[in-house]
Amino acid sequence: MRKTKSETTAVIVTYNRAPYNRQSKRFRLNPLLWCLNSLLNQQPPLKEIIVVDDGSDEGDYAEEMVDYCRGGGVKLVLLKSKNNLGSAVSRNIGIRAASSKYIYLTDDDCVCTGSCVFLAELVLNKLKRYKQNITGLNLPVYNRATVPTKIIKMDDIGKIDASTGIFNSTSDSFPIEYISSPRFIDEEENLLWPFPVQNINAHLLCEADILKSCEFSVLPANEINGYAEEAFFMRRVKAIGKEIMYWPDPKAHAVHMLYGLGGNLCLKGADWLSNKNPSLSEMVKESSIPRRNTGNRTTPELYEFAKRITLDKIFSDLSGEMVGYEAKEY
């Protein structure tokens, strides 16, 4: 496989994910640093990385993390908000500033495999030869794992069904059909065929002009947590005749550390950073320490409230009207 220069800008929104400064013995345990290192190690290198600091507290060292990572040959941009605007609004800020053909979105506590962006570009370009309206790929995300933990029917991955109340994302999922009969878009490189879904997660490679025209939106009661904002985005994309597909190939996965969410102290699957400091296992252990006021972390009560409001909106408005809901401007 011939490696060429990447045509992608990575956009990361961060909020209180750099708690340790460079003088701290725990400096290597900053989630934002894990994420940035995985992006800087992409082969071939990304065109640029945009970090949007979503109003982190005074004791956060996001700016120091970005400065520490400069000089590796990749353009690194930091945009700072005075207030915590929430993930949807902050993503839009980063998306508008991107200058590449493609935009890659991931979370600030995700660690991706070394060529996931390049492989996604390759597969997306191959897909467009078959169907021109394909505009993006949702890549696999495994929560504190390097292997999919949900082997389920293809039709149940990323599914939204108002009649049964089903609201599934693509996280942790792999189609059971591909276990016995895998389909390849590139047999030489063993790259699996993507397939259509209704809902996605935030591990996404998409054409920049589509992200800039559709953007992310939120419900007024759900500004900070961002629950289900990807489902709203998918409706907007569909409304303009475009399609985003899920590419379940584990070669392009990201490990979502779920920083600040207690429980699940052990990494599931092989640690492909076992010889690094920190390893994936160490990252999972650090992330499992319960924390509030970081990322999209919120109280269980507020999370459930946002979830009920959002699902009610989605299930009651499957006619497509919600694609017209505007992102709140600041």
With bands split at pLDDT 50, 70 and 90, how would you rate the model's confidence at 299?
low
Residue 244's CB is within 10 A of a number of other CB atoms, namely 27
Predicted confidence at residue 328, as pLDDT, reads 38
Q: How far apart are CA 102 and CA 198, in angstroms?
A: 21
3-class secondary structure per residue, 234-293 = HHHHHHCCCEEEECCCHHHCEEECCCCCCCCCCCECCCCCCCCCCCHHHHHHHHCCCCCC
Tokens encoding 220: 């007024």
When comparing pLDDT for 311 and 114, which is higher? 114
* pLDDT value at residue 162: 76
Pairing of strands 184-186, 191-192: antiparallel
Give the Cα separation of 161 and 319 in Å (integer): 12
Average of per-residue pLDDT across 204-224 = 81
* Mean pLDDT of all residues in 303-327: 58
* pLDDT attached to residue 303: 66
**Tens-digit pLDDT profile for residues 233-287:** 898 999 999 999 999 999 999 999 999 999 878 999 999 999 999 999 999 999 9
Instruction: Write the Ramachandran bin of 80: left for phi over 0, alpha for psi from -120 to 50, otherwise beta.
Output: beta
Percent of the chain as helix, strand, coil, to the nearest 5: 30, 20, 50
Q: Confidence class of residue 321 from pLDDT cuts 50, 70 and 90?
A: very low
Collapse the DSSP code of 142 into the 3-class scheme (helix H, G, I; strand E, B; otherwise coil) and give the result. strand
pLDDT tens digit string along 26-80?
Answer: 999 999 999 999 999 999 999 999 999 999 998 899 999 999 999 888 999 999 9
- Would residue 55 be called left, alpha or beta, if left means φ above 0 and alpha means ψ between -120 and 50 degrees? left
Residue-level pLDDT at 147 = 98
Q: Tokens in use for 238?
A: 């569909």
* Band (231; pLDDT cuts 50, 70, 90): confident
pLDDT at 226: 56
List Cα–Cα distances, 123 to 126, 183, 253, 263, in angstroms: 5, 13, 14, 35
In angstroms, how far is CA 184 from the centroid of its own chain? 24
Burial class (CB in 10 A: 0-12, 13-18, 19+), 192: buried
**Backbone phi, psi, residue 265, to 5°:** -80, -15
pLDDT for 314 beyond 80: no
Q: Are 328 and 215 in contact (CB under 8 A)?
A: no
d(CA 225, CA 241): 28
Q: What are the domain boundaries of the chain?
A: 8-318
Which pLDDT band, with edges at 50, 70 and 90, does 202 fall under? confident
Model pTM score: 0.91
- CATH topology for the 8-318 domain: Spore Coat Polysaccharide Biosynthesis Protein SpsA; Chain A (3.90.550)
Q: Mind listing the pLDDT tens digit for each residue in 112-143?
A: 999 999 999 999 999 999 999 999 999 999 99
**pLDDT over 90 (residue 144):** yes
Helix (H) or strand (E) holding 191: strand 191-192
36 exposed, middle or buried (CB, 10 Å; 0-12, 13-18, 19+)? buried
Determine the pLDDT at residue 311: 72
Per-residue pLDDT reduced to its tens digit, 158-193 = 998 877 778 888 999 999 999 999 999 999 999 999
Whether the pLDDT of residue 222 is over 60: the answer is no
Strand, helix or coil for residue 126: helix
Question: pLDDT by residue (tens digit) across 18-28?
Answer: 999 999 999 99
Residue whose entry in the numeric block shows the structure tokens 């005074």: 58
